[in-house]
Chains A and B, each alone.
Chain A
Amino acid sequence: MVDYACKKCKYISHESVVCKNCGSSDLTKEWYGYVVIIDPEKSQIAEKLGVKIPGKYAIKVD
């Protein structure tokens, strides 16, 4: 039960070898901070993070 964050888009994929958002295979277990974006159009947090697709994201990826 490990969640991986994509090093490119910070999207968190559950038990996956490729990022379900951008398709990158550059994933890491070393990520910190957790953000759930539900409505990226109205969310200021999503705007600040540059997120346009709803989902779970890490704030920091090592």
Chain B
Amino acid sequence: MSRFFLLKTTANQEKVVANLMEMVIKKYQLPVYAIMSPKEVKGYIFVEAENVEDVLKAIRGVPHVKGLVKGEVGFHEIEHFLVPRKAAEQIKEGYKVEIISGPFKGEISVVKRVDETKNEITVELIDAVVPIPITVKADHVRIIDKSEEV
């Protein structure tokens, strides 16, 4: 039965660490089965292995690894990362969101309409003098207030 461990890494180097660890694991034939870096968790990676000693062997000499988080992680705690929900499903009308990419990056806006099938939302910028609806991909916004006030 495999167990899950959490490693702290330098932010944005999760992929590099996973690739380097894979090389070490293959070289020494370690019983480490998978490495996962979900988008939602910055600066950490999950390692599926038989025991903690193998994880420690796999990170030996690997740069950007800051350490192993004490204890284990249950599979039920990481399962939800593997079945990604569409971003639009988590956003409701009236939510206050910040646009995080595109020409309106950094603008705060209020959600006016959600299209779950297209994974798009229509928002209105708060700072705009005249409210103009803008349709953006739901992945391109960050929720800042879920109070649903309009």
Residues of chain A touching chain B, judged by Cβ–Cβ distance below 8 Å, are 32-39, 42-46, 48-49, 56, 59-60, 62
Contact = CB atoms under 8 A, between A and B. Distances in A.
Contacts of A60: 39, 84
B35 interface: yes
Contacts of A43: 2, 33-34, 48
Contacts of A33: 36-39, 81, 84
B124 interface: no
A56 to B, nearest CB: 8
Nearest to A39: B33
Contacts of A38: 22, 25-26, 32-35
Q: Report the interface size class on chain B.
A: 20 to 34
B82 interface: yes
Given A36-B19, A38-B25, A45-B33, 19 more contacts: A34-B36, A35-B35, A35-B36, A36-B34, A37-B33, A38-B33, A38-B34, A38-B35, A43-B33, A43-B34, A44-B2, A45-B34, A45-B48, A46-B33, A48-B79, A56-B19, A59-B38, A59-B39, A60-B39
Interface of B: 2, 14-15, 18-19, 21-22, 25-26, 31-39, 48, 75, 78-79, 81-84, 139
Given A42-B2, A44-B2, A49 B82 contact: yes
A35 B84 contact: no
Contacts of A42: 2, 31, 33
Contacts of B39: 32-33, 59-60
